[in-house]
């Protein structure tokens, strides 16, 4: 059985998009803090592995646990989920007309062994007018997303260019995840739908 250690509906959708027909969602209960002394990819892999281990402690040893953590980095500073609407507004103003990095760390764990990887995507925002910022805040979409936007939703209207993996910006770089699942015994390229 595949277990997704995340409550993110976007990650659930992306596992389904990969052709995985059957998986369970069991979000991690704890999360390690981001360690700024590490390179961003390594720090996020560490967080993802912590999530995977927490969830793995509550499922049978043979289950495959998938965990991920995504952050937006502007000038090297991580932008997580906004605390409130003012924080979301601050983030959107800071991102306006500028390039930022989206980094996702992933971990796949099975039977006490694991593999980790990460992806980095460059995203450039359009210059945002006051009207655009007010409109996007009014949608409520920014509130549960790193960097205060969701590229797969209405936030896609704010994005000028994407250099790298689009699915990484959504929250799960599926092309990098596929070989990790293969390692764990889940053949995502099998016609039975990635049964483990």
CA–CA gap between residue 22 and residue 24 (Å, rounded): 7
Of the chain, the end-to-end C-alpha distance in Å amounts to 6
Contact between 149 and 155 under an 8 Å Cβ cutoff? The reply is yes
Centroid of chain to Cα 190:
25
| Token pair 């390229």 in the structure block, residue | 189
Beta bridge partners of 25: 4
Which one, of 69, 50, 59, lies nearest residue 10 by Cα?
69
Catalytic residue flag (residue 69): yes
DSSP-derived secondary structure letter, 194: S
Q: How many CB atoms lie within 10 A of CB 179?
A: 13
Instruction: Select which of 63, 69, 165, 190 is catalytic.
Output: 69
The answer to whether the CB of 149 falls within 8 A of the CB of 95 is: yes
Token code pair at residue 170: 């959504």
H or E segment and range at residue 24: strand 23-25
Annotated catalytic residues are 69
């Amino acid at each position: 059985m595949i277990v997704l250690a995340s409550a993110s509906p976007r990650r659930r959708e992306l596992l389904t998009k990969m052709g995985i027909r059957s998986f369970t969602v069991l979000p991690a209960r704890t999360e390690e803090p981001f360690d700024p002394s590490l390179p961003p990819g390594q720090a996020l892999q560490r967080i993802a592995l912590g999530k995977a281990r927490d969830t793995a402690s509550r499922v049978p040893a043979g289950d495959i646990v998938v965990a991920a953590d995504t952050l937006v980095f502007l000038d090297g500073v991580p932008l997580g989920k906004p605390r409130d609407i003012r924080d979301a507004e601050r983030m959107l103003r800071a991102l306006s007309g500028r390039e930022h990095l989206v980094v996702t760390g992933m971990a796949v764990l099975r039977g006490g062994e694991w593999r980790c990887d990460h992806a980095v995507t460059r995203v450039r925002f359009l210059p945002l007018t006051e009207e655009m910022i007010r409109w996007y805040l009014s949608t409520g979409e920014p509130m549960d997303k790193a960097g205060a936007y969701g590229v797969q939703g209405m936030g896609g209207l704010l994005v000028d260019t994407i250099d790298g993996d689009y699915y990484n910006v959504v929250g799960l770089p599926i092309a990098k995840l596929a070989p990790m699942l293969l390692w764990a015994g889940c053949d995502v390229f099998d016609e039975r739908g990635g049964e483990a």
